[in-house]
Amino acid sequence: MPDDAPTPPQGPVVQVDIVSDVMCPWCIIGFRQLEQALGVTGTGARIRWHPFELNRDMPPEGQNLAEHIAQKYGSTPEQSAQNRAHMKTLGDSLGINFNFTDDSRIVNSFAAHQLLDFALSQGAQHPLKLALFQAHFTDGKDVSDIATLLDVAESVGLDRDAAAQVLESGALAASVREKQEFWTSRGISGVPSMVFGGKYLLTGAQGVKNYADILQKVAAEEAA
């Protein structure tokens, strides 16, 4: 698991860099599949999350989820409903409660990424990322709202005043943009994108078996 969480004391530990967006349901699905793969293989992981915005130009007020999907992908309301139902069933099997409603919204995630950058320096990036996924997908909270972000930050042990100063000043905005550009300049155009051992890239939620296979491959190479 990440630097701030325990790893299996006996098994190998693999570096896993995950490029993702808090708005991306497949990112939390992919992570939970990876988590299961870690359990199956007995492998540990040093996980670091990296910023990506699926909708960089999303306005502050956000957009209704169904409207957004129809506009971006051309899905009919029926197709969109079927996709959400499939995603909810898959989420249930992985312990994720996708609480989609007619009022679910896509929001701008840039502030959330700045908070995650701050959390990285505090050793709390991983728990914050998971808490943000829950806030958005399960609790239906607006994770572009500063007060909401500060509540989530505080819930994982981050100092509320320090987090507020970071968000209100925009002190990490340039850092986040630089990190985004790093990954997009290397061809990352969809998420989740996971890099194993610094060299093997898997894009999309690839399933427990594929993650287990790549973990074992990297662990074997590093042990050789």
- Which tens digit of pLDDT belongs to each residue from 60-117? 889 999 999 999 889 888 998 899 999 999 999 999 999 999 999 999 999 999 999 9
Determine, yes or no, domain membership for 8: no
Determine, yes or no, domain membership for 1: no
Determine, yes or no, domain membership for 2: no
Mean local confidence (pLDDT), 123-149: 98
Residue 95 and residue 211: Cα distance in Å, rounded? Answer: 18
User: pTM higher than 0.95 for the full model?
Assistant: no
The SS3 assignment for 40 reads helix
**Which pLDDT band, with edges at 50, 70 and 90, does 224 fall under?**
confident
Number of domains the chain contains:
1
Mean local confidence (pLDDT), 15-41: 97
Residue 10: per-residue pLDDT: 64
Burial class (CB in 10 A: 0-12, 13-18, 19+), 204: middle
Mean local confidence (pLDDT), 214-218: 97
Determine, yes or no, domain membership for 116: yes
Residue 209 and residue 147: Cα distance in Å, rounded? Answer: 39
Domain that holds residue 129: 13-223
Residue 9 and residue 43: Cα distance in Å, rounded? Answer: 10
Determine, yes or no, domain membership for 178: yes
- N-terminal to C-terminal alpha carbon distance within the chain: 22
Q: What is the pLDDT of residues 130-140, one digit of tens each?
A: 999 999 999 99
Task: CATH number of the domain at 140, please.
Answer: 3.40.30.10
Determine, yes or no, domain membership for 188: yes
